[in-house]
Copies of this chain bind each other. A is one copy, B any other.
Amino acid sequence: MARPLTLHPDRLFPADPALRSLTRALYATVADVPILSPHGHTDPQWFADNAPFGNATDLLLKPDHYLFRMLYSQGVPLEQLGIGNPDADPRAAWRLLAQRYHLFRGTPSRIWLDWVFAQAFGIQVQLDASTADHYYDHITTALSTDAFRPRALFERYRIEVLATTESPLDTLAHHAAIRTSGWSGRVITAYRPDPVVDPEFEGFADSLARLSQLTGEDALSWDGYLAAHRKRRAFFASMGATSTDHGHPTAATADLSPTAAAALFQRVQRSDVSAGDAELFRAQMLTEMASMSVDDGLVMQIHPGSLRNHNAALFARFGRDRGADIPTPTDYVHALRPLLARHGNNPDLTIILFTLDETAYARELAPLAGHYPALRLGPAWWFHDAPEGMRRFRQQVTETAGFYNTVGFNDDTRAFLSIPARHDVARRIDCGYLAQLVVEHRIEDWEAADLAFELSYGLAKRAYRL
């Protein structure tokens, strides 16, 4: 017999009754605040076309690397989940998830999915082998209705702004379609130049050629390359972008002379580019991007520290973003110094730092953000974007950086319905943290209420210039 599925109203609240009661009161004030999603990886085509999502597997399993990495770790071949295999039976893939749903106990995926099942689809039994087909049919049927089209869901979950992430080579055709469609939803882009900034990115030379073509600049010369960036940034800004995003292996920055930078740019275009030059060029480009942000006002996000494609065999077969990116120890205090020496004291610039290395929270990031006017800290990210990870973020960052050098929540997801699920988790955890500060008499209750709103909405609104 299937077990009932319910979302307890006190989920993720602290156990202590006084803390729980106060958390409940704080959460009630922010539960329905609109969602700002200033950083993520959803597909703008969804909102341009507003076509139905398809089936349960297409919507919930295939875009969610948290799910397939866990299933793979326990011996499920990715092909059977439909990854890199269009012939896979989506219902069979769904059953593989359902049979192994216990693997997700204690993980955020369990929290997010149960929210989606119960809240978005109104399912009342738990997912397991016995309910797999019920789930698949129920969700797939719902997705064929207008209420589950992308724009309807966007509105249902009170999303005020949703940012996607695009390469400078993207024509932003979907964003243009959204803007001319008459639909009022605000879906904006963000400028993610990794493919034309990282000499080790697949197809770097071709990308530079394409950048020249798109901009009419000679993107193979240093001055033309910079001019091309400026043009694309301006175009992205005209399509709503308020930020850039930089996903580098490290947080290294450099501040070379124009002559040295130009010579380096020629070297990195060679097919035998050295690892050192590639790293130095990425480092230099972070400072160049900061300089452009000073001029055009785009907020700069730095997401360093992921060793991409750790599993060479998996990468060869399935390509990027298949769950084999692994965090690495990440230096900030030395790495950021060149950029900060150039722009760190500028209070009109906003650079938002993220980390996959939690050891940097209290040791480097909070001290840096608690000093430099240009710096802010992004929320717990990726592997740490879960209740315990979020708690560690607040506990390790707040005492040195306070709340006002942070920027609210990012969902950073490819899985659309996890957006409201994740924001709900973040608000619950933050309210629990604030309640603890009140019960320990470190802040007053009215301050906690003020901060609950800031963490849910205000800080993101201002930091991302939304």
Contacts and interface: CB of A to CB of B under 8 A. Distances in A.
Contacts of A70: 370, 402
A102 B447 contact: yes
A311 interface: yes
Contacts of A134: none
A107 interface: yes
Nearest to A324: B371
A443 interface: yes
A238 interface: no
Nearest to A357: B363
B396 A388 contact: yes
Interface stretch (A6-14, A135-143, A272-280): A6-14
B310 A404 contact: no
A104 B402 contact: yes
Contacts of A357: 359, 363
A440 B72 CA distance: 28
B311 A73 contact: no
Interface stretch (A25-33, A156-164, A209-217, A327-335): A327-335
Interface string A335-346: 001001100110
Interface in A64-112: 69-70, 72-75, 102-108, 110-111
Interface in A247-296: none
A379 to B, nearest CB: 15
Interface string A309-331: 01111100000000111111101
A15 B18 contact: yes
A148 B213 CA distance: 73
Interface in A373-432: 373, 375, 383-384, 386-389, 392, 395-396, 398-405
Contacts of A7: 441
Contacts of A206: none
Given A16-B16, A74-B405, A328-B364, 9 more contacts: A12-B442, A74-B404, A104-B402, A107-B399, A111-B442, A311-B371, A323-B371, A324-B371, A362-B384
29 contacts: A12-B440, A14-B440, A15-B16, A70-B370, A70-B402, A72-B373, A73-B372, A102-B404, A104-B402, A105-B443, A106-B402, A107-B402, A108-B399, A307-B334, A310-B333, A324-B371, A326-B367, A326-B368, A328-B363, A328-B364, A329-B359, A329-B363, A356-B363, A357-B359, A358-B359, A358-B363, A386-B399, A388-B396, A388-B399
